[in-house]
Amino acid sequence: MHLDNKLRGKMPEARSQRSKARSQKPEVRSQKNFSLTSCFLHLTSIFLLLTSCLLLLEPASFAQEARLKESVPTGFNPHDQIDDEGEILWNKCLICHPEIPNIKEAKSILDVKLRFEEDVKQGCFRCHPEVMHPGGGWIGATLKGIAGAPDHWIKPPEYIVKNMEKSLKEADVIMPLEPKTGKIFCATCHNPHERGLLIGKADKGADYEWRLRSAGAPICQYCHRR
C-alpha cells in the first residue's frame, strides 16, 4: 500500500511533464518551419543577386541577342495571298487596304481603297527599302548621287501617260498611278498580288521575277516606247 501511494503521488508529476512536452512540440515545429522559410528566402535572394550581377556585367550580349531576335525574318509575306488549298487569305488584303476590296466588281485601282492614299508607296516602304530607280546601273547612279539619275516618284508628263495607255491597248499591261495624286508608285511597275488572285490584265506580272507587270519583258518600254 505504501508503494502504491508513492506511485500515485508521482503520477500527477509525470502527467504534468508529458503535458509540458506536448505544449513544447508546436513551438519546435514552428521554429523548424520558420527555419526552412528563412533558408528558402535566403537562397532566393542569392539567386536574384547573381542574376542581377550577370545583367550588369553583360548588358551588351543581352541587347545583341534581342536585336538578333528582332532581325530574324518571321516568314510573314503579305504577297502570299492564297493558301495551299487555293483559298484566298482575305486578312492579307488589310495590310495594304483599309477594307477588303470586292475583287469581282473592282475594275481598276480607282475602285478600291488604299492605305497611305496621299503617298501610297509608304505602305511598300514598311517592308522594302526606298530606292529611286528603274533597275540596273541606275540604282548605283542614284545612290552615288550622279547627276541625271531618274526620280520616278512624280506625276508623269502627258506623253508618258499616253505611252502607258498605248501599252494597255497593245500589250494588256496595266500600269496604275496613285488614285489621289496621279503619281507613279511601286505598284505602277510591280504587281503586288499573288498570281491567280485577280483575273485578266490585272493578274499579269504576278509572281514573275521582281513582280514586274511586263511579265519578263523590259518594263521601261511600256512608258518610254524605246
Give pLDDT tens digits for 25-61: 444 444 545 565 666 566 666 655 555 444 444 443 3
| pLDDT value of position 220 | 87
Scored b (16 or more CB within 10 A) or e, 12-34 reads eeeeeeeeeeeeeeeeeeeeeee
What's the whole-number mean pLDDT along residues 190-213? 91
**Grid cell of 88 as nine digits:** 484566298
Q: What is the pLDDT of residues 74-128, one digit of tens each?
A: 457 899 999 999 999 999 999 999 999 999 899 899 999 999 989 999 988 888 8
- d(CA 41, CA 37) in angstroms, rounded, equals 6
Q: Which three cell numbers stand for residue 18?
A: 508529458
pTM of the complete model: 0.62
Map residue 185 onto helix, strand or coil.
coil
Q: Using CA atoms, how far apart are residues 114 and 64, in angstroms rounded to an integer?
A: 37
CA distance 173 to 213: 6
Q: What is the mean pLDDT of residues 169-185?
A: 93
